[in-house]
Copies of this chain bind each other. A is one copy, B any other.
Amino acid sequence: MKITPVKGTNDYLPADTALRDGLQAKILEVYRAAGYDRVTTPILEDIENLDKSDGGDNLNLIFKVLKRGEKLEEALQSGDPSALADMGLRYDLTLPLCRYYANNRANLPHPFKCIQTDRVYRAERPQKGRLREFWQCDIDVLGDERPECEIELIHTTAKALMALGFRGFTVKVNDRRVLRGVLASCGFEPGTFDSVCISLDKLDKIGEEGVRAELNGKGCPESAVDALTELFSGGVTLEKAAARIGDPSVPARLSSVIDASKLLSKGQYEIVFDLTLIRGQGYYTGTVFEIAMPGYRGAVAGGGRYDDLIGKFIGEKVPAVGFSIGFERIFGILKEEGRTIEGQRKRLGVIYEGAFTDALTTAETLRGSYDCTLFEKPKKLGKLLNALEKEGYAGFVYAEAPENIRWFGREE
């Protein structure tokens, strides 16, 4: 039998699990204080729901669950491989949340401000840093279209990161409608917007000339490529982008989100407009945001507005917006930096020689204040104590009888 976890999944040692639990508890504390309610949805989801969910590239990364019994027999006989699975493992927490809202909205507050911290799955090619099973921490507001939702999501997500000790990060904000307006004003065809965005997304990596070359290669009109390049030379402010769009309400809304978020940040983190910010998911309709951490590549959090996704379930538009912390990125950074989470209880070793029940009764008197592990006194006590100190034990007591507790070690 194989002893390693399946590719792309991890076994977490006790110290790692303690860090992960502490991290999650801290994030949940901030989210709950801000008035969001935690809910739980299943990891298993109907395969058709997943397939029709506009999840972009993630739709190619769904783990599918084989049918069982007679239905599997029928599927095998049909010769159609797509009929073999009836369920899949969710690739994010947003699609299940939309289904959940559609199913339970009569029993939910309005607007519904909610938390999900849970596992998601993607059948990535296993390679360094790409997990197939990983956690996300999301907050979402369903049933509210006001920009206040975005302001509060940005503020709360930033607050959670600050509670974990992070400072100086950058929140990038865009609105897909602004980007689409700008591309239209440059003369790109609406059908090519997604393809243009993919090239534009590489600006950091391949530079202006690289983007030009790619767009030309894709057959975009020369004049459109010129207009776009000219716009980007020297950076695109929201004002500059807004000037190219007919309807001023969309950039004005985005501007109000950015201004309020800057005010609330008190200079502890940056808020910037970034016209090149796109985010992969096909279901985003308006605002998109992500958070970059100095010294680390890629985003540590991301999200956006998905006003049309719930409508796919109930045929009625329900505005929605969410922000997701990439839990594994945060865990990786904290682990790399050797950080611990405050507020966890100290651990004592309780060493005994006599009756086990007496020792256990003694340990019980200490368990209101400490986590206590019982150890029968070994021949080499010093070796045991050294090992326990390395594992992070704060001290030891020698329990001869309930009324006779002797302290030794670091904690007296």
Contacts and interface: CB of A to CB of B under 8 A. Distances in A.
Interface of A: 1-6, 9-14, 16-18, 20-21, 32-35, 37-46, 48-49, 52, 63-66, 68, 72, 76, 81, 84-85, 87, 89, 99-100, 102-104, 107-109, 113-114, 119, 121, 123, 132-133, 146, 148, 151-152, 155, 260, 263-264, 312-314, 345, 347, 356-357, 360-361, 363, 367, 370-374, 376, 387-388, 391
B99 A35 contact: no
B151 A3 contact: no
Contacts of A360: 151-152, 155, 264
B5 A107 contact: no
A263 B107 CA distance: 48
B64 A65 contact: yes
A99 B66 CA distance: 24
> Which one of A1, A10, A41, A374 has the greatest number of beta carbons of chain B within 10 Å?
A1
Given A13-B39, A373-B35, A99 B3 contact: yes
A356 B42 contact: no
A406 to B, nearest CB: 19
Most buried by B among A20, A114, A148, A347: A148
A200 to B, nearest CB: 30
A109 B391 contact: yes
A41 B5 contact: yes
A404 to B, nearest CB: 19
B260 A99 contact: no
A356 B151 contact: yes
A3 B313 contact: yes
B361 A44 contact: no
Contact of A66 (B5, B18, B21, B65): B65
A331 B372 CA distance: 27
Main secondary structure of the interface of A (DSSP, over half): mixed
B2 A49 contact: yes
Contacts of A376: 146, 148
6 A-B pairs with least C-beta separation: A35-B373, A9-B42, A14-B37, A33-B367, A3-B102, A12-B40
Contacts of A391: 109
Contacts of A99: 1-3, 5
A38 B21 CA distance: 9
A215 to B, nearest CB: 32
A366 to B, nearest CB: 9
A36 to B, nearest CB: 8
A114 B16 CA distance: 13
Contact of A32 (B44, B113, B345): B345
B84 A66 contact: yes
A336 to B, nearest CB: 18
13 contacts: A1-B99, A13-B107, A13-B108, A14-B109, A17-B38, A42-B133, A44-B133, A63-B87, A66-B84, A109-B388, A148-B356, A152-B374, A155-B360
Contact of A123 (B12, B42, B68): B68
Interface core residue of A108, A133, A313, A373 (most chain B CB under 10 Å): A373
B356 A46 contact: no
A90 to B, nearest CB: 11
B5 A264 contact: no
